[in-house]
Amino acid sequence: MQQDLRAALGALSGVPAPHGAERPAAHALAAWGRRAHPGLGWEVDEHGAAGANVVVTLPGDGVPAVLLCSHLDTSLSGDPLVDAPVTGRDDDPAPLAWSADQVSGPGLGVARAPAAAALAGFAAAAARLGARPHRSAQLLLAGSGTHRSALPSALTTGPVRPTSGAGAEHHLRTRPRPDAVVVAKCGPPGVLAAEPGAGYLAVAVTGGWGAALAPASADPPGGVLLHTGLVLAGVAAWRAGFLAARTGRPDGTAAELGVGALTAGLPDKPDLLPARLDLRCYVVTVPGDDLVALAADLARSLREGFAGGPLAGCAVEVLAEPLHAAGVTDRSAPVVQAAVRAWTARVGTPPVPVQGWTGSTDGVVFRAAGIDTARLGPAARRDPADARRDVLDVAALEAFAEVYADVVVELAGS
């Protein structure tokens, strides 16, 4: 199994796969797969301007009994200069590296390591099922699995328009509907039957522009940028109430809000005080949340908080960009129970109940389509020497490759 894992992870790490531009990586991976596992069907489904999925098929009876799903794209682009505003570094991260008990490299936690385990596990399942009668099964490595905002932005955008979840949605439109889905993704020490939703909020606070040499010429005096702390404090106060109302949920999901981008003014013209301050927030939602309603409530809260202060005369606007709603699969569903059994057998201890989970994946796309879905995978941690790199235990990666194989064999072989 480790040899197959090494080969799969090497193939996944060989070509950058930024969001929406996975096509070269997809074709390279499929070419590797046809050489390494010729008994499986390897196809590249292109979608969008430059996106692509890799679909691996184990032939059998009927529609796929199970779709094992991970994704190709990584959160960081792989170009250190492009990623530097987030990472704070513009040097090249060290490449994939193996030791006796660990593997480390860029993009392992968000995509590549669980995808490699899914590849190795799917191939192992095919070998175990062999020539005996069985259902068909598929493995999907989806493009555009990471989240990106498509709201109009003052920031320089990349060459590809963001389309979060496009790979999974394309698969549902163009391929046979599976009976169940297993999402292979790094995560908590448990099997997730529920995942929260996600979306973006764009917060704009607009006053009047002026000149830096005459601060009183701006409205408010000194310009909105001088009062950024008030805006951030207002968002933080609203976040506290938002989270408090969504704790202790029986489905294990939780909410979150983070401010990930702030823009104002012209970098090459700081002698002008900008009229507008833009914040971009990532929001994690629970079942029943309406992001448009949340945006309106945040705008109301900010306006009330600014009353009587320097930002009282400013216009406040909050735009919502919902990506996907939260989704819940009943824990009694066969795919969830199969995942629990496989975890217990291969990891050696039962999966623990997960509370307060805030990670959303393509699993919500399949749940929204009414397909029972379970998510599970190994734990990753940041490399203390370079936070752009992730570290995983080889034994855990091998165990989860076996877990994925067991689930495919149980569901497709029954």
- Beta bridge partners, 70, equal 141
Where residue 50 sits, what CATH number does that domain have?
Answer: 3.40.630.10
User: How many helices (H) does the chain have, and how many strands (E)?
Assistant: 10, 18
Above 80 in pLDDT, residue 13? yes
Task: Please give the mean pLDDT across all residues of the chain.
Answer: 96
How are beta strands 67-71 and 137-142 bridged, if at all?
parallel
At 152, the pLDDT band (50, 70, 90 cuts) reads confident
- The residue among 324, 353, 377 that closes a domain is 324
Asked if residue 28 and residue 167 are part of one domain, the reply reads yes
Where residue 227 sits, what CATH number does that domain have?
Answer: 3.30.70.360
Residue 221 lies in domain: 197-324
Give the mean model confidence (pLDDT) for residues 341-362. Answer: 97
pLDDT in tens, 213-250: 999 999 999 999 999 999 999 999 999 999 999 999 99
Helices 2-13 & 113-129 angle (0-180, nearest 10): 130
At 158, the pLDDT band (50, 70, 90 cuts) reads low
Torsion of the alpha carbons at 226, 228, 229 and 233, rounded to the nearest 10: 150
How are beta strands 102-106 and 97-98 bridged, if at all?
antiparallel
Asked if residue 175 and residue 74 are part of one domain, the reply reads yes
What does pTM read for this prediction? 0.95
| Share above pLDDT 90 across residues of the chain, in percent, rounded to a whole number | 95
Give the mean model confidence (pLDDT) for residues 7-21. Answer: 94
Asked if residue 163 and residue 93 are part of one domain, the reply reads yes
Asked if residue 170 and residue 31 are part of one domain, the reply reads yes
Asked if residue 202 and residue 158 are part of one domain, the reply reads no
Asked if residue 332 and residue 319 are part of one domain, the reply reads no
- Give the Å distances, CA to CA, from 277 to 208, 263, 407: 11, 6, 50
Asked if residue 53 and residue 170 are part of one domain, the reply reads yes
- The residue among 290, 324, 358 that closes a domain is 324
Q: Residue 178 carries which DSSP code?
A: P
- The residue among 298, 324, 350 that closes a domain is 324
At 407, the pLDDT band (50, 70, 90 cuts) reads very high
For 240, phi and psi rounded to 5 degrees? Answer: -60, -45
Asked if residue 356 and residue 345 are part of one domain, the reply reads yes
Residue ranges with strand state E in 62-212: 67-71, 97-98, 102-106, 137-142, 180-184, 194-195, 197-206, 210-211
CA distance 275 to 226: 11
Asked if residue 249 and residue 180 are part of one domain, the reply reads no
**Backbone CA torsion sign across 326, 332, 334, 340:** positive
pLDDT value, residue 154: 53
The count of structural domains within the chain is 2
Asked if residue 212 and residue 154 are part of one domain, the reply reads no
Asked if residue 93 and residue 30 are part of one domain, the reply reads yes
Asked if residue 11 and residue 33 are part of one domain, the reply reads yes
pLDDT value, residue 162: 65
pLDDT in tens, 269-319: 999 999 999 999 999 999 999 999 999 999 999 999 999 999 999 999 999
Q: Residue 110 carries which DSSP code?
A: I
Contact between 44 and 147 (Cβ < 8 Å): no
User: CA gyration radius for the chain?
Assistant: 23
Give the mean model confidence (pLDDT) for residues 161-171. Answer: 88
